């Protein structure tokens, strides 16, 4: 039993009511997502316009180098979930892991707010990657731990509110921090996400006596992971995730290449001047709108003529991604000719890309959970996040490559976008062939009866 943690047990099965710790988890997630997406929204703008050298003079990065740093950071954010999952499942448990790494997270924001040199950038992004990534596989699993047999009917609703909190925090921060960056400068713009992450940590700490705490599995997790069945599952899913990684290589460029492109576009939309980084707020807003649209209209309509499996949804999403990235490719052709296309074209691309996200990301999460052995659910979720890391690592490598030693770009302008569009098309075709040969099995958690307090 965790010292000072009454009720260190499985979810209470005696009450059908909403678990007492849920409001603390939802509020924590909203504030944490505000902090992450707020910082991320201004990162490329900061690196290409406000970065300082050791003497305090403005020394901005070239665009390609900034894109490289950005995607290297995102890849690190999605590699560290493996560390968080192992730490939580074998040693500390979810609650302690979240608290410890949240403090690391706050320290990263502090570094970005105080030091605007490359040293401060590297330190801040490193700490944020460790903190943000490390807690990712723990928070959602901790949410699920709060439920038992008699209140499990509330789980779907609560996860809906959880996802709503994620996108609400992202939407608000993507509007506020770019404005704060322009009006008050980098220190204030980076400080606000740090304050919100500190609030998120305090809210989560305040709920410590309200939570159900599940002890770490210890050696059982390791034995399952290294078993023949466990390794075969990882190998099968690994082939799927390699293709999904290419989707993330394109998707996360909305925070880098698309922001830089927006600087050269006509950003007046419906009479309002939009900052280059603010257009990113379209994604979380569209997610909230498109999820019910797909669930109640798009998927049922397709099902009438073609049976939709999880892998078929992902394949369709990949082809939609090709169309989505073709739009900024066309836009960049216009920019290269000295024209300034309307930012509305990027908004259309966001609609398509967010639709692809609903088909690829959400479906892949559900599919990963059903394919994972019971003792490996959290780890497989972290393994899925490795596809996001791999995609961003690939994009980072491409961007560091495109700047030659003499400063000449080898994949510049529209050619850059065309390369990724073609790569996505090839990947979508290969994934379709791979999906036909995939052989797996569904594995869900068993319904268990009451477990005495303190017994695993």
Which ranges in the chain are annotated with CATH 1.20.1250.20? 18-213, 217-440
Lowest mean pLDDT among 35-39, 156-160, 329-333: 156-160
Cα 395 to Cα 17, 54, 71, 169, 390: the distances in Å are: 46, 28, 6, 26, 9
The span from the CA of 163 to the CA of 374, in Å, is: 23
pLDDT in tens, 378-387: 788 889 899 9
- Angle, helices 155-184 vs 186-206, to 10°: value is 150
User: What is the distance of C-alpha 132 from the center of its chain?
Assistant: 10
Nearest CA to 25 out of 166, 227, 179 is that of 166
Lowest mean pLDDT among 90-99, 161-170, 234-243, 252-261: 161-170
Per-residue DSSP letter, 268? E
48 pLDDT above the threshold of 90: yes
The span from the CA of 411 to the CA of 397, in Å, is: 12
- Of all helices (H) and strands (E), which one includes residue 104? helix 94-114
pLDDT in tens, 262-316: 999 999 999 999 999 999 999 999 988 998 898 889 999 999 999 999 899 999 9
Token pair, residue 423, equals 């790569």
Per-residue pLDDT, 200: 97
Mean pLDDT along residues 436-440: 82
State the pLDDT confidence band at 145, using cuts at 50, 70 and 90.
confident
Across all residues in the chain, what is the average pLDDT?
A: 87
Asked if CATH classification 1.20.1250.20 holds for the domain at 217-440, the reply, yes or no, is yes
Instruction: Look up the pTM and report it.
Output: 0.83
Which position has the higher pLDDT, 14 or 204? 204
Per-residue pLDDT, 18: 82
370 pLDDT above the threshold of 70: yes
The span from the CA of 384 to the CA of 374, in Å, is: 16
User: What is the distance of C-alpha 393 from the center of its chain?
Assistant: 14
Which position has the higher pLDDT, 166 or 153? 166
Token pair, residue 270, equals 């419906």
What is the percentage of the chain residues whose pLDDT exceeds 90? Answer: 65
Report the length, in residues, of the chain: 456
Per-residue pLDDT, 367: 82
117 pLDDT above the threshold of 60: yes
Please report the sign of the dihedral spanned by the C-alpha atoms of residue 356, residue 361, residue 367, residue 370.
negative
Lowest mean pLDDT among 20-24, 381-385, 449-453: 449-453
* 105 burial level (CB within 10 Å; 0-12, 13-18, 19+): buried
Radius of gyration of the chain (CA): 22
User: How many C-beta neighbours within 10 Å does residue 45 have?
Assistant: 23
Grouping H, G, I as helix, E, B as strand and the rest as coil, residue 272 is: strand
Per-residue pLDDT, 149: 66
Cβ–Cβ under 8 Å, residues 261 and 331: yes
Mean pLDDT along residues 104-127: 97
Which CATH number describes the domain made up of 18-213?
1.20.1250.20
Nearest CA to 250 out of 72, 421, 412 is that of 421
State the pLDDT confidence band at 364, using cuts at 50, 70 and 90.
confident
Per-residue pLDDT, 137: 83
Token pair, residue 255, equals 């925070």
Which position has the higher pLDDT, 407 or 256? 256
């Amino acid at each position: 039993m965790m010292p000072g943690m009454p009720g260190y047990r499985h979810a209470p099965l005696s009450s059908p009511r909403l678990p007492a710790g849920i409001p603390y988890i939802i509020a924590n997630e909203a504030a944490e997502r505000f902090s992450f997406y707020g910082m991320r929204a201004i990162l490329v703008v900061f690196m290409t316009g406000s970065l300082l050298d050791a003497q305090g003079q403005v020394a901005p990065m070239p665009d390609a180098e900034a894109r490289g740093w950005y995607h290297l950071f995102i890849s690190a954010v999605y590699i560290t979930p493996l560390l968080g999952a192992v730490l939580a499942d074998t040693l500390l448990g979810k609650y302690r892991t979240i608290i410890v790494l949240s403090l690391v997270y706050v320290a990263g924001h502090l570094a970005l707010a105080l030091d605007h040199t490359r040293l401060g950038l590297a330190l801040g992004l490193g700490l944020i990657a460790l903190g943000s990534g490390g807690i990712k596989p723990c928070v959602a699993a901790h949410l699920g731990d709060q439920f038992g047999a008699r209140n499990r009917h509330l789980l779907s609703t609560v996860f809906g509110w959880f996802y709503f909190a994620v996108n609400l925090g992202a939407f608000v921060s993507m509007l506020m921090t770019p404005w704060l960056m322009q009006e008050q400068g980098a220190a204030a713009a980076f400080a606000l996400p740090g304050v919100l992450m500190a609030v998120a940590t305090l809210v989560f700490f305040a709920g410590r006596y309200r939570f159900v705490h599940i002890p770490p599995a210890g050696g059982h997790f390791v034995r399952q992971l290294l078993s023949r069945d466990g390794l075969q599952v990882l190998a099968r899913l690994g082939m799927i995730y390699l293709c999904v990684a290419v989707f993330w290589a394109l998707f996360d460029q909305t925070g880098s290449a698309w922001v830089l492109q927006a600087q050269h576009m006509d950003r007046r939309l419906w009479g309002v001047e939009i900052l280059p980084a603010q257009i990113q707020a379209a994604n979380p807003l569209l997610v909230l709108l498109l999820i019910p649209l797909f669930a109640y209209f798009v998927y049922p309509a397709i099902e009438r003529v073609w049976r939709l499996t999880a892998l078929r949804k992902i394949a369709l999403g990949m082809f939609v991604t090709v169309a989505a990235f073709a739009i900024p490719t066309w836009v960049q052709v216009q920019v290269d000719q000295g024209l300034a296309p309307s930012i509305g074209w990027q908004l259309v691309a966001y609609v398509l890309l967010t639709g692809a996200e609903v088909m690829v990301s959400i479906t892949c999460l559900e599919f990963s959970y059903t394919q994972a052995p019971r003792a490996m659910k959290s780890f497989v979720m972290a393994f899925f996040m490795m596809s996001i890391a791999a995609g961003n690592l690939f994009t980072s490598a491409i961007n560091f490559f495109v700047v030659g030693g003499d400063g000449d770009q080898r994949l510049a302008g529209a050619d850059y976008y065309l390369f990724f569009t073609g790569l996505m098309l090839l990947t979508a075709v290969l994934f379709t062939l791979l999906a036909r040969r995939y052989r797996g099995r569904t594995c869900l958690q068993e319904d268990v009866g009451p477990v005495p307090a303190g017994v695993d």
